[in-house]
Amino acid sequence: MKKGFIFDLDGVITDTAKFHYIAWKNLAATLGITIDETFNETLKGISRMDSLDKILAYGHKENAFTTTEKETLAQKKNDEYVKLLADLSEADLLPGVHDFLVQAKEQTIPCSIASASKNAPMILDKLGVLEFFGHIVDPETLTKGKPDPEIFIKAAKSIGVEPKDAIGFEDAQAGIEGIKAAGMYAVGLSATETLIGADLQVASMTELDVEQLINQ
């Protein structure tokens, strides 16, 4: 029987990818770099600074800025991203998420968040689901990002669950790889991409039943 749930945030709990995309696209445009939705897929699950590095490399400007200048650029992107989140509310939870969290609470299955986003606590608060999570891993404490398993191992331990007894939920390939490397059962959430290595893939949380999942 599985004993804990570890959730990615962006693309699993809520669809913030579209806001990240707008903010990165606008910042990239000011640098003379054009990014499209296909390129944006490669930024999913990747930290803010690593995303900026990828965009600069894509535009052949990897050596054009100092570390301080890059920090300013990343801050500028985040300022616009946070503005785009101003109206975020419970209505922005992805289908089935609230019901799934309620079921987990009823079954006393602890939940934690393994997201690369430094905005995760604020976003969960706006979505009205902060109370369902025993812990949110602080990405500042990580030495490596996804696909490294570090964030998932920390998230499991933070709620007193061994990784082998946990189930991880992810929408990005790097995340599925991290969950599997942590020794967890991986649930992939995507209606469009095939998530290689996922133990189970569904289009949305509406297809999942907590009792069935933990007892398989």
Per-residue contact track with ligand BG6, 9 to 28, x per CB under 6 A?
Answer: xx---------x--------
Partner touching 171 among ligand BG6, Mg ion, none, CB below 5 to 8 Å by kind: Mg ion
**Preceding amide of 110 cis, omega within 30:** no
Q: Which of 39-47, 83-91, 179-187, 199-207 is the region at the interface with ligand BG6 (rule: CB under 6 A)?
A: 39-47
Question: Could you tell me how many residues of this chain bind ligand BG6 (CB under 6 A)?
Answer: 16
Nearer to ligand BG6 (CB atom), residue 4 or residue 175: 175
Q: Is 204 in the site for ligand BG6 (CB under 6 A)?
A: no
Q: How far apart are alpha carbons 161 and 5 in whole angstroms?
A: 9
For residue 209, indicate whether it is catalytic: no
Q: Is 126 in the site for ligand BG6 (CB under 6 A)?
A: no
For residue 10, indicate whether it is catalytic: yes
Partner touching 119 among ligand BG6, Mg ion, none, CB below 5 to 8 Å by kind: ligand BG6
113, amino acid identity: I
Q: How far apart are alpha carbons 132 and 82 in whole angstroms?
A: 23
Q: Is 147 in the site for ligand BG6 (CB under 6 A)?
A: no
Partner touching 147 among ligand BG6, Mg ion, none, CB below 5 to 8 Å by kind: none
Residue 190 assigned to a binding site: no
Residues of this chain that interact with ligand BG6 (CB under 6 A) are 9-10, 20, 43-48, 51, 78, 115-119
Residues of the binding site: 8-10, 24, 43-48, 51, 77, 115-119, 146, 170-171
Residues of the binding site for substrate: 8-10, 24, 43-48, 51, 77, 115-119, 146
- Return the active site residues: 8, 10
